[in-house]
Amino acid sequence: MLCEFEKLIYPPSIATVDDSGYMIALYHPCETIKDSTGNLITQVKAVGYCLPVSSSLRYDMRGHWSKNSKFGLQFEVESYNEVIVPTKEGIIAYLSSGQIKGIGSKIAEKIYEVFGQQSLEVLDKEPEKLLAIPGISEIKLKKICDSYLVNRGARDVVAFLSPHGITPNRAVRLYKEYGDKTMDIVKKHPYQLCDMAGIGFKTADHIALSMGFDHLSTERVDEGILYTLSEAEGKGHLCQEKHEFVKNCLKTLDTPALTADMVANRAARLVFSGQLVSYQGKVYRAKTAYVEEQLAYAIHQQMKHWKMHNYGDLDAAIDAEEQKLKMKFAPEQREAVKIALTQGLCIITGGPGTGKTLIQRAILDIYQKSNPKNEICCCAPTGRAARRMEQATGVVASTVHKALGLMADEDGDYDAPDALTADLIVVDEVSMLDIYLAEYLFKAAKYGAQMVLIGDADQLPSVGPGAVLSEMIASGCIPVVRLDKVFRQNAGSRIAANAKLIRHGNVGLEYGSDFRFINSPRLADSAELIVDLYLQETEKYGVDNVALLTPYRQKTETGVNALNERLREKVNPPDAQKAEVVFGNRKFRCGDKVMQIKNHDDVNNGDIGYIRKIIRTGDETTVHVDFGDGRVKEYDSSELEMLNLGYASTIHKSQGSEYQSVIINLQCAHSIMLTRPLVYTAITRGKERVAIVGEKKALCISIRKTDTEKRGTCLAKRLQELT
């Protein structure tokens, strides 16, 4: 059917198309079309995904008619092609139609001036030649190429996958990887999609089963087995016990005819083929097992090859440091400094107020005085933690990612890290290191370097898989200094005192002006209280120095998403002078505090920034985010999925940060999430004030419930085998 675009019905504008790309539009037929009764059809209501909306082009649409009981006759679009008249006017009309992001009428005319009738061929085969056109940068060229793919080769892929919940961006990336073979792979081997981040087994399985694939096919069962372990990694586990693993596989595949023996046999074949690894009665994905094994080996080598430095009279050096700092080290603090300076690798662990920061400073001061020519690397998993480290010690610090030169691709994966040349490596907030980042760090460290790892073993484990800090401590192979005595309490802090009580499972907390509990059993009331309290605290301390923490992102009125919307309207209300951009069901406004939720380039998951500019050029929108340390990043509309509002945060996302004031919501509605490490981590983010809003029962549940499920990992056992 040949037709022209008339009007967009859903959504109201092209800017508000959601992630699925689903659209409804009206078209005018350019040929005679009659309905079943012989009446002439003068207007076509089309439904589909990523429909064309340029009024300057004609489209050859393919699909089928359907009759909806509510909306009447409509045309379900399966695919379409632009009909381009091979004239100057036709080519320019196509290029400037708005279908290709980055090309407006002026750029289109310039392209035709240079390439003439070959303009479309250049786009197809040699798009890099467009860099010769004034106004086309490498960034703009990427947008042009991606958009052109959607409108040419990738269009059928986008249309086929969109009903299954795969965004156009991911479909285009799939087309980039497989080219013209993509549709063949999607239809004949859909489980290959599992290899692509962001698609996964469940989506691939939905596609496959909708096309009639057998529930018991080896391809489906094998991918389901591998997915079971991938899903476990998303919950922090590197491996699963064999019986539990088989049980979880059966749950994943949800096929009555599939038995435990059948799963075990397929898993055995995957072990034989090298896709799975069995170790100590546990089952791993091969990649994960290799990383854990390599980390254990790197830790062992680090301890084996370090070189002892001469500090002279170390006790005298510590005495001199006491005079400089005008304080007296406790015996365990003094021991921590000694061990750090006389061991190739050591761990210093303790809660808030136990003096970890002072110990860091002493270690660095003494080392620098004794080894003035040696290189030092100070780093932490988050930007906030790194800045806090630098301010406390006076030594330049960075994120672990920056120290290692890690740059994430579109899937959040990293290339190999840069080698670390430092002679002393001090890492803070080590509890946040997952197995992958820890392996990068230890493999990058040079033989002979000293490493000092500092962290709080009672905090939540890393967001990523593994339990690196607790496993290193549990191995018994690495010197560990535990700091238990709270010194900050002497200054009247109830935060440090209560943190210690929580660690020991004691619900008898101390309350006062710096540690409050506000009883509010109803979620709606709590949301109102939290907003009011947040405004009071930010007025006193500033937005950057106040954290609002809650266990859940969604689900309730006090979830992160709901609170972020409420707070943004109070802290950064709409204004005619403030530009806005809508992405799906989310809105971003100039001045908004935002959080990066995905590793990309040199911006890491959890980084906080502010929207400084929203720039519209034609159909394109660019959002400029300032992350406060010289990093100003540009996001086009398709990249806004990497941002969330950042006024409120989950407790997990707050790890590695400290704030003057912390507000925490704890409700019985969150009970499935509540554990001792969770509430401990939340309150230890506060330096001056902590306020808990919610139910006392929820607080007691948290304190009494240790982390119910130990993470599946064998790092401690691997370390023990090597020593």
Minimal CA–CA distance to 547: which of 705, 675, 428, 656? 656
Cis peptide before 11 (omega within 30 of 0): yes
Q: How many Cα atoms sit within 13 Å of 691 on the Cβ side?
A: 20
Rounded Cα distance between 482 and 299, Å, is: 20
355 annotated to a ligand binding site: yes
Token reading at 6: 């008339």
CA 63/CA 46 separation, integer angstroms: 10
Residue type, position 561, single letter: N
Angle value at C-alpha 139, between 133 and 140, nearest 5 degrees: 50
Token output for 2 = 């040949």
Among candidates 407, 403, 448, which has minimal Cα distance to 427? 403
Residues 567 and 576: their CA atoms lie apart, in Å, by: 19
The residues facing 588 across adjacent strands are: 581
Burial class (CB in 10 A: 0-12, 13-18, 19+), 70: exposed
The pair of three-digit structure tokens given for residue 366, joined into one six-digit string: 């003494």
Q: Which residues pair with 61 in a beta bridge?
A: 80
- Please check whether residue 526 is in contact with residue 670, taking contact to mean a CB–CB distance below 8 angstroms: no
Q: How far is CA 487 from CA 331, 357, 681, in A?
A: 13, 12, 19
Amino acid letter for position 404? L
DSSP 585: T
- Distance CA(464)–CA(230), nearest Å, equals 12
At 357, list the tokens: 């920061």
Encoding tokens for residue 215? 């529930």
Tokens 């021991």 found at:
335
30 Cβ contact partners less than 8 Å away, ≥ 6 residues apart: 2, 3, 4, 58
Q: Using CA atoms, how far apart are residues 63 and 27, in angstroms rounded to an integer?
A: 14
CA–CA distance, 229 with 252 (Å, rounded to integer)? 10
The two tokens of residue 482 are: 């535990």
- The verdict on whether residue 353 carries a ligand-binding annotation is yes
Residues 436 and 386 sit within 8 Å (Cβ to Cβ):
no
User: Is 116 among the annotated ligand-binding positions?
Assistant: no
Task: Tell me, letter by letter, the H, E, C secondary structure of 21-60.
Answer: CEEEEEEEECCCCECCCCCECCCEEEEEECCCCCCCCEEE
The residues near 54 (Cβ < 8 Å, ≥ 6 apart) are 5, 97, 98, 99
List the binding residues for ATP.
Answer: 353-357
List the binding residues.
Answer: 353-357
